[in-house]
Chain A
């Protein structure tokens, strides 16, 4: 392992670059309605989603991750990365992890690289772990990627959860820096509750299935979600985690410029902002264009908001998510001056 050059005393992780990539194929609500029993109106009014990007043949998650990672590295102006952390629910294979292949594709062969599995909270878990690598001196630059080919685990006949998800990838580069710098990662509030494992799941493909006493059903090979319960848990945990993160940052709700939440459902986002007494217009909304992209959702929304100018240098932002596990998390940070394509 390459020994990073870390100047003494600089141990906070600071965002210094960001990038994103969406597969070119776009599927609208109307196209879905043409082949299954759903409608643009149902999808839009229930979730706010209008379209999503879908991978094409020969485009596994590592492809999306490498595209986003390369763009983040270019944005940061770095070619040397000490570690790569990839958050995904849809690895190329169950074994090995996808991160080493992504590192290899990016010319980072030899660097430590590993996957983080926390579904929609994955990017926040990955940020926390990456910040820890920098804090411990194990790395001076870490590439953190959230990437999903979620369409590959959706049952094509599933007209409820199936229409919600999309594919894509986003990434940030973290460098060693000081805690008061714009872009510095502070406290990352994280949590889990394994009793909720059935809320968001793909049952088959692992050791549970292989050691199962009761035979599993064909539908177990696909993603399933209990939407109503997820809605309630998501609103409560995202709100609570965000308030804790605000507390650590020493900010009041009124001082938050933008909430960049996991883009699961517009109605969840509205409920969270209402519960936090933050005006709705401070929510970054990206799901209308890309759907729910699970672990890629937050970095995609960051890149999108930066490109439209909605996310400005110095903006006080909250990142928050709730996902399968169940897992949840939030962090507060000030957005740095970076260049995003």
Chain B
């Protein structure tokens, strides 16, 4: 069952589009973070914006620029699920 308060990939993509100034169509789950020129500060900026958007705390320690956009989305989902418990 889908929880209607669950963060959507679209919401994260909008945040990333704003922070990275890249076109929305370049942000797909499979997009490698290195391909959209995320620097380490941009990663933090995105996660901080996601914290505000979804009203959660996201642990920043393990976030790195390897992996893809889906990995970032999973981090956000995990934080939201942890917050609910």
In the complex, are the beta carbons of A275 and B44 less than 8 A apart? no
Q: Does B60 contact A (CB under 8 A)?
A: yes
Shortest beta-carbon distance, B46 to chain A, in Å? Answer: 10
How many interface residues does A have (CB within 8 Å)? 12
In the complex, are the beta carbons of A271 and B45 less than 8 A apart? yes
Interface residues in B30-85 by Cβ distance below 8 A to A read 39-41, 44-45, 48-49, 52, 60
The main secondary structure of chain A at its interface with chain B is helix
In the complex, are the beta carbons of A231 and B41 less than 8 A apart? yes
Name the interface size band of chain B: under 10
A274–B53 alpha-carbon span in the complex (Å): 11
In the complex, are the beta carbons of B41 and A267 less than 8 A apart? yes
The main secondary structure of chain B at its interface with chain A is helix
Chain A residues in 8 Å Cβ range of B40: 227-228
Please give me the residue from chain A that is nearest to B61 by CB atom. A229
Interface residues in A229-249 by Cβ distance below 8 A to B read 229, 231-232, 235
Q: Does A46 contact B (CB under 8 A)?
A: yes
A229–B60 alpha-carbon span in the complex (Å): 8
A235–B58 alpha-carbon span in the complex (Å): 13
The answer, among B41, B48, B52, for a CB contact under 8 Å with A228, is B41
Please give me the residue from chain B that is nearest to A46 by CB atom. B41
The answer, among A227, A231, A232, A274, for a CB contact under 8 Å with B52, is A274
In the complex, are the beta carbons of A271 and B39 less than 8 A apart? no
In the complex, are the beta carbons of A232 and B48 less than 8 A apart? yes
Greatest chain B CB density within 10 A among A228, A229, A270, A275 is at A228
Interface string of A200-237 (1 = CB under 8 A from B): 00000000000000000000000000011101100100
With A46-B39, A46-B41, A267-B41 as given contacts, are A232 and B60 in contact (CB-CB < 8 Å)? yes
Chain A residues in 8 Å Cβ range of B41: 46, 227-228, 231, 267
Shortest beta-carbon distance, A97 to chain B, in Å? Answer: 36
The answer, among B45, B52, B60, for a CB contact under 8 Å with A267, is B45
A229–B52 alpha-carbon span in the complex (Å): 18
A270–B44 alpha-carbon span in the complex (Å): 12
Shortest beta-carbon distance, A16 to chain B, in Å? Answer: 38
Please give me the residue from chain A that is nearest to B64 by CB atom. A228
Q: List 16 A-B contacts (CB under 8 A).
A: A46-B39, A46-B41, A227-B41, A228-B40, A229-B60, A231-B41, A232-B44, A232-B48, A235-B44, A235-B48, A267-B45, A270-B45, A271-B48, A271-B49, A275-B48, A275-B52
- The residues of B with any CB-CB pair to A shorter than 8 Å are 39-41, 44-45, 48-49, 52, 60
- The residues of A with any CB-CB pair to B shorter than 8 Å are 46, 227-229, 231-232, 235, 267, 270-271, 274-275
Additional A-B contact list (17), CB under 8 Å, known A227-B40, A229-B60, A235-B48: A46-B41, A227-B41, A228-B40, A228-B41, A228-B44, A231-B41, A231-B44, A232-B44, A232-B48, A232-B60, A270-B45, A271-B45, A271-B48, A271-B49, A274-B48, A274-B49, A275-B52
